[in-house]
Amino acid sequence: MGKYWSADAVAKDISTSLWGLIVSLAESKVKKDLIYAGTDDGVIAVTEDGGKNWTRITTFPGIPEYTYVSDILPDKFDENVVYATFNNMLRDDFKPYILKSTDKGKTWTAITNKLPANGTIHTIQQDNVNPILLFAGSEFGFYFSIDGGNEWIEFKSGLPTIAVRDIALQERETDLVIGTFGRGIYILDDYSPLRTFKKDMLEKEAYIFPVKDSKMYIQTRGFDNQGSTYFKAPNPDFGATFTYFIKEVPKTTKAIRQEKEKTLFEKGEPIPQPSISDLKAEDKEIKPYLIFTIRDESNNVVKRLYKSASKGINRITWNFTYESISPVTTTKYNPLPVVAGRRGGGNIQAMPGTYSVSMALFSKGEIKELSTPLHFICKPLGLATFTATDQKAKYAWIGEASDFSRKMYGTMSYTSELVDQINAVMQAIHQTPSASSDLMKEAERIDAELDNLMFIFNGPEAKASEEEIPPMEMPLSHRLGEMASATYETSGDITTIAKEQLDILKTEFPPVLARVRKAGEDLQNLNKQLDAAKAPWTPGRVPAL
Which value, in Å, is the radius of gyration of the alpha carbons in the chain?
35
Distance CA 67, CA 43 (A): 8
292 exposure class (CB count in 10 Å sphere: 0-12, 13-18, 19+): buried
> Three-state DSSP class for 12?
strand
Q: What's the per-residue H, E or C state across 444-492?
A: HHHHHHHHHHHHHHHCCCCCCCHHHCCCCCCCHHHHHHHHHHCCCCCCC
Distance CA 178, CA 187 (A): 7
DSSP annotation of 349 reads: B
Distance CA 112, CA 133 (A): 14
The answer to whether 253 and 274 are in contact (CB under 8 A) is no
Task: Quickly name the fold that domain 22-201 has.
Answer: Methylamine Dehydrogenase; Chain H (2.130.10)
Q: Could you give the strand order of the β-sheet that contains 97-101, starting from the edge strand earlier in sequence?
A: 68-74, 82-87, 97-101, 109-110
List pLDDT tens digits, range 389-411.
887 888 888 888 888 988 999 99
Distance CA 166, CA 185 (A): 10
Measured in whole angstroms, the distance separating CA 138 from the mean position of its chain's CA atoms is: 28
> Three-state DSSP class for 324?
coil
Residue 29: per-residue pLDDT = 96
List pLDDT tens digits, range 293-339.
999 888 989 899 999 999 988 999 999 988 877 777 777 778 886 55
Domain boundaries, the chain: 22-201, 244-250+288-380, 391-532
Task: Report the chain's terminal Cα–Cα distance, integer Å.
Answer: 103
> Three-state DSSP class for 89?
helix
Residues of the chain with pLDDT under 70: 7-20, 221-227, 337-347, 384-385, 461-472, 486-489
Indicate left, alpha or beta for 385 from its phi (over 0: left) and psi (-120 to 50: alpha). Answer: alpha
Residue 303: per-residue pLDDT = 92
Residue 345: per-residue pLDDT = 45
Residue 12: per-residue pLDDT = 55
Four-CA torsion 109, 115, 119, 122, nearest 10 degrees: -50
Helices then strands, each counted (H, E), the chain: 7, 24
Task: Quickly name the fold that domain 244-250+288-380 has.
Answer: Immunoglobulin-like (2.60.40)
The answer to whether 96 and 119 are in contact (CB under 8 A) is yes
Residue 13: per-residue pLDDT = 53
The answer to whether 450 and 418 are in contact (CB under 8 A) is yes
Name the percent of the chain lying above pLDDT 70: 90
Residue 275: per-residue pLDDT = 93
